[in-house]
Structure 1
Amino acid sequence: MGASPWIVSDELWGRIEPLLPRRERRFRYPGRRPVPDREVLCGILFVLRTGIQWEHLPQELGFGSGMTCWRRLRDWNEAGVWQRLHEVLLAELNAAARLDWSRAVVDSSHVRASKGGSNTGPSPVDRGQPGSKHHLVTDGHGTPLAVILTGGNRNDVTQLLPLIDAIPATRGRRGHPRRKPDSLFADRGYDHDIYRDQVRARRIAPAIARRGTRHGTGPGTYRWVVERTFAWLHGFKRLRIRWERRADIHEAFLKLACCLITLRQINSLC
Structure 2
Amino acid sequence: MTLVLDSRTRRLTDAQWALIAPLLPSNTGRRGHPFGDDRRVVDGIIYRFRTSTPWRDVPRAEFGPWQTVWKRHRRYAGDGTWDRVLQALLSQADAVGLIDWDVSVDATIARAHQHATNTTRPDQDTGAFSNYKHLPWDETEPPGHGIGRSRGGLTTKIHHVVDGHGLPLAIVVTGGQRNDGAMLEHVLGDIRVPRIGGGRPRTRPDAVLGDKAYGSGVNRRMLRARGIRAVIPEKSDQITVRKHKGSKGGRRPAFDEDAYKDRNVVERSFALIKQWRGIATRYDKLAITYRAGAVLHACLTWATLLGDTP
Scaled by the length of structure 1, the TM-score of the pair is 0.86
Q: Name the residue aligned to 2:147.
A: 120
Question: Which deviations, in whole Å up to 9, do the C-alpha atoms of 1:191-238 show, x marking residues without a partner?
Answer: 21111101111111111122249xxx6654121011111111111121
- Provide the C-alpha distance between the structure 1 equivalents of 2:284 and 2:104, rounded to a whole number of angstroms: 28
Aligned to 1:24: 32
Q: Which residue of 2 aligns with 1:92?
A: 92
**Residue of structure 2 aligned with 1:198, choices 204, 214, 222:** 222
- Aligned twin of 2:80: 80
- The alignment status of 1:130 with 2:154, answered yes or no, reads yes
**Corresponding residue SS for 2:77:** helix
Task: Report which of the two has the higher share of helix.
Answer: 2
Say if 2:212 is the partner of 1:188: yes
User: What aligned pairs does 1:1-270 form with structure 2 within 5 A after superposition?
Assistant: 5-21=9-25, 22=30, 24-25=32-33, 35-61=36-62, 63-101=63-101, 103-114=102-113, 115-116=116-117, 117=119, 118-124=145-151, 126=152, 129-172=153-196, 177-212=201-236, 220-270=260-310
User: Does structure 2 conserve the Cα–Cα contact (< 8 Å) formed by 1:232 and 1:261?
Assistant: no
Supply the distance in 1 between the matched residues of 2:199 and 2:21 (Cα, whole angstroms): 28
Q: Partners in 1 of 2:199 and 2:84 — Cα distance? A: 20
For 2:22, what is the secondary structure of its paired residue? helix
Deviations 1:115-160 (A, max 9, x none): 3251101123x1xx10000000011111111000000010001210
Q: CA deviation at 1:174?
A: 9.1
Q: Secondary structure at the match of 2:10?
A: coil
> Structure 1's 239 and 23: CA in aligned 2 closer, same or farther, altered over 3 A?
farther
Q: Percent identity at matched positions? A: 33
1:175 to 1:72, Cα distance in 2 relative to 1, 3 A:
closer
Q: CA deviation at 1:188?
A: 0.9
Give the root-mean-square deviation of aligned CA atoms.
2.3
CA–CA separation in structure 2 for the residues paired with 1:188 and 1:25: 52
Q: What CA deviation, in whole Å up to 9, does each residue of 1:58-91 have, x standing for no partner?
A: 1121x12222211100111222211111112112
- Greater length-normalized contact order (CA 8 Å, ≥ 6 residues apart): 2
Please report how far the alpha carbon of residue 35 of structure 1 lies from its aligned counterpart in structure 2 after TM superposition: 5.0
- CA distance in 1 between counterparts of 2:31 and 2:197 reads 34
| Structure 2 residues not aligned, in runs of 5+ | 1-5, 120-144, 238-256
Gaps of 5+ in 1: 27-33
The SS at the match of 1:167 is: coil
- Which residue of 1 is the match for residue 134 of structure 2? none
CA contact (8 A) 2:91 2:193 kept: no
Paired residue secondary structure (2:162): strand
SS of 1:238 mapped into structure 2: helix
Q: 1:137 to 1:199 in 2, by over 3 A?
A: same
Q: Which string of whole-angstrom CA distances, capped at 9 and with x for unpartnered residues, describes residues 25-69 of structure 1?
A: 39xxxxxxx7522211111111122221111111121x1222221
Report the Cα distance in structure 1 between the residues aligned to 2:230 and 2:216, rounded to whole angstroms: 11
Contact 1:95/1:173, CA 8 A, preserved across alignment? no
Shift of 1:171: 1.9
Q: For 1:257, what is the secondary structure of its paired residue?
A: helix
- Contact 1:170-1:177 at 8 Å conserved across structures: yes
